[in-house]
Amino acid sequence: MVYFVRHALPGELVEITDVEYQKSFAFAEVAHVVEPHPGRIEPRCPVAVPKGCGGCALQHATDELQLALKSDIVKETFRRFAKYDREILVQRVEPRWHWRTRMQYHVDDEGRVGMRQWRGHDVIPLPPAGCAIAAPSAQPEAQPQGPRSVSAVGRQWQIPQGGFWQVHPQAPEILTSAVMDMLAPQTGEIAWDLYCGVGLFAGPLSDAGCDVYGTDGNKLAITSARRNVPSGHFEAGRIDLVAGRWPDPDVVVCDPPRSGLDRSIVKLLCARKPRAIAYVSCHPASLAGKVGRFEEAGYELVEVLAYDLFPQTPHVECVAHLRLR
């Protein structure tokens, strides 16, 4: 049986507790580290421990080890699911602490603000210093209400309350730069921005001279996208149905939820045959699984870039470049 042991590191000898058995695997927590990894350190946050907050699962690893572990995971994921057997190094991104610009807090029965326990419903109260990865603007006492304005990628962005925006302050610049390099858009080309949100990728594509079409299921986001990128064509609705009415694209960028692109959207893109696709995802396994479907339709995976936009957590952001053969 395979055990997924939270707060353990590869190669360590540990004693485990709180074993939760499933059909073919089990979850467990570290009770005691017998033989520690050389890269193990003391977590900065006092609640980033077994039975603690579910947010930061890698605070007990050095930055170098975090990057190495994530690189190994991404590389193995693409090797297994996309037959892409090349080195993929997760790139370090600063800041490593107090970076998260959006948080969701909970309140316990005693009125204390905190985070949900890992694989549980109990609220773990925040330490006196607050959350170690939350930006100052995202601490409980500073949580803004209503729409907000953000400056990034040479533009001012209006974001509705509850609207999606990348949580790491460096993410907009990093991801748009990667997408634009991959797509190499030309003046007069038609560009699709699927799951466009408030228009983060549509803006640079429009600035490059493309005729941009964007869609998202969130109506408030589309309203903001129209304000943020007045030259674009934006419509809210089901992604495949809306995009199905558009002219054939030359280039496409998509940034879907963790579950990835629906089969109907993959089918639509393969039928329309854009020359290049930039696929942004915070779930490497979901992304790698979809790559195979594109390859069956005549696309090749040119490269995968990975960025540590979620320091101290197991998550990683990837951008895949697909090119029509």
Binding residue positions for S-adenosyl-L-methionine: 166, 195, 216, 255
Residues belonging to the binding site are 166, 195, 216, 255
First to last CA, the chain: 42
Triad 274, 204, 298: Cα angle to 5°: 15
DSSP 301: E
Picking from 201, 222, 227, the residue whose alpha carbon sits closest to that of residue 280 is 201
* β-sheet bridge partners, residue 60: none
Residue 202 and residue 229 in contact, taking contact as beta carbons nearer than 8 Å: yes
With the CA atoms of 256, 257, 261 and 263 taken in that order, what torsion angle do they form, in degrees rounded to the nearest 10?
Answer: -150
Q: Are 200 and 222 in contact (CB under 8 A)?
A: no
Write down the catalytic residue from 45, 210, 254, 282: 282
Distance (Å, whole) CA 208 – CA 204? 6
Contacts of 261 (CB under 8 A, 6+ apart): 194, 254, 269, 279, 290
282 is catalytic: yes
Distance CA 178, CA 240 (A): 25
Residue reference for tokens 């030359």: 250
Tokens of 138: 């995202």
Give the angle subtended at the CA of 179 by the CAs of 178 and 180, to the nearest 5°. Answer: 95
- Enzyme catalytic residues: 282
